[in-house]
Chains A and B, each alone.
Chain A
Amino acid sequence: MIRKVFEIMLKDYDTVDAFCGIRRVQDIAEKNKTDCFPVTDNGKIIGVLTRSDLIKTHPNRIVLDAMSGSYKYIEADESVWEAKELLEGQGTDILLATQDDKIIGIVTKNAINVEISKHIDLLTGLYKSDYIIYNCLKFLEHGSEISIVFFDVNNFGYIDKEFGHTVGDNILKEIAQILKDNAPEGTYLCRYGGDEFALLTEVCAENCKALAQDILNKVKQHEFYGNIHIGISAGIAGGERRNPRKGNMYKTVTNLINLASLASTKAKKEKDNLVLGYSGIIDEIAI
């Protein structure tokens, strides 16, 4: 399941008063290793004091004359990916997590970076599966049609056994690079599992065939580590929602990915290594 803001937010956080002296806040920051402070005036949050403010401001100043950071609100039940996107927005230093219009915690850039780093595959530098699932849900929320192209390396177990795992790792890195280089703008890529990669697009499944075929060809033409011949297979599944206001689509999305994965397994037996597994309405995909 995708992690939520309330799971990573800081519940016990320091705030500083707008009229507090910077020297005192510097001492607090040093002691508590805090990098960002919500600033309050009469109990209300009015701004954010960042570590950069603490470094560049004269210690005699009051917080009100030093704070340059800004904040945004986020529902505590939102996903960490939503929080990441908000924090990547221009000039947002901190998120105030709310529940029933009450601030119940804060999310700093550090906290998000720590969390998101858990979702990055160290070998290939690609995101892991959560990233694709989140973006699928986001596309569906916006009423877009989505398609998953699932790539699977042919006979990867044999390559690992025959040439060793380090060679296998190098090959996976090269495949990841080919996918990165050839994934069109507006698509999302992840390493789904061992030798499996998934690409999310906002176009219908039939229109993904050409894109998938192009990537298969690029892999075929690539000269891999140790001149080992590598082939990959691709399965496609996609569709659109019929009921835009339907509840939790998480299970539906994972089912769609599963259909694409099954299609990629089937594609291994096909001559062109490509199978369109599912295309249609995805409100209730049952497998």
Chain B
Amino acid sequence: MSKNVDSSKKAEITMRMSEFEMPPMQDVLIVGRRAPIGPEAARRMVDILSPEQYEIIKLDHSVIEAMVVRKALFNILPKEKLIELLLEEGGKVANESTIVKAQVNIVLQISKSIDL
């Protein structure tokens, strides 16, 4: 007894498009000690796309090896304060094999009074 089996193959294609972020990181990258990309590679990558805009801060930390920070942030907040803050919060989410991207919005509130 013979059986005829009809078979066919189909491919379903889906596409997702979005604008490429320039550079592909925002304000800060928190690099774990065993992350697949090291801080030097991250900085050089970003340097090609946004030259001279990012700085590596190497850290003496059990989990986090370094942070790559947009230099402009240091114009608004002192480096030590910002790093301390990022470590405090980033340390809770990062582990040694991850790279965490952070967006940092700083709003300065200034109030002055002048003599009339």
Contact with B along A57-72 (1 / 0, CB 8 A): 1101110111000000
Residues of B within 8 A of A64 (CB): 38, 40-41
CB-based contact B37/A60 at 8 Å: yes
Which 10 pairs, one residue from A and one from B, show the smallest C-beta to C-beta distance? A65-B38, A60-B36, A64-B40, A58-B36, A65-B40, A61-B38, A62-B41, A65-B41, A58-B34, A58-B35
Interface of B is mostly: loop
Residues of B within 8 A of A56 (CB): 34
Compute the total of residue contacts between A and B using a CB distance below 8 Å.
Answer: 25
Residues of A within 8 A of B36 (CB): 58, 60-61
Given A58-B34, A65-B40, output 19 extra A-B contacts at Cβ < 8 Å.
A56-B34, A57-B34, A58-B35, A58-B36, A58-B97, A60-B36, A60-B37, A61-B35, A61-B36, A61-B37, A61-B38, A61-B41, A62-B40, A62-B41, A64-B38, A64-B41, A65-B38, A65-B39, A65-B41
Residues of A within 8 A of B97 (CB): 58
Which of B34, B35, B37, B38 has the most A CB atoms < 10 Å from its CB?
Answer: B38
- Determine the distance from Cα of A56 to Cα of B35 in the docked complex, in whole angstroms: 11
Q: List 16 A-B contacts (CB under 8 A).
A: A57-B34, A58-B35, A60-B36, A61-B35, A61-B37, A62-B38, A62-B40, A62-B41, A64-B38, A64-B40, A64-B41, A65-B37, A65-B39, A65-B40, A65-B41, A66-B38
Residues of A within 8 A of B41 (CB): 61-62, 64-65
Residues of chain B whose beta carbon lies under 8 Å from any beta carbon of chain A: 34-41, 97
Residues of B within 8 A of A60 (CB): 36-37
- Determine the distance from Cα of A56 to Cα of B40 in the docked complex, in whole angstroms: 17
Chain B nearest CB: distance from A245 CB in Å? 45
Residue ID in chain B nearest A62 by CB atoms: B41
- Determine the distance from Cα of A65 to Cα of B99 in the docked complex, in whole angstroms: 14
Chain A nearest CB: distance from B90 CB in Å? 19
- Determine the distance from Cα of A62 to Cα of B31 in the docked complex, in whole angstroms: 14
Which of A57, A58, A60 has the most B CB atoms < 10 Å from its CB?
Answer: A58
Residue ID in chain B nearest A18 by CB atoms: B40
- Determine the distance from Cα of A251 to Cα of B97 in the docked complex, in whole angstroms: 59
Residues of B within 8 A of A62 (CB): 38, 40-41
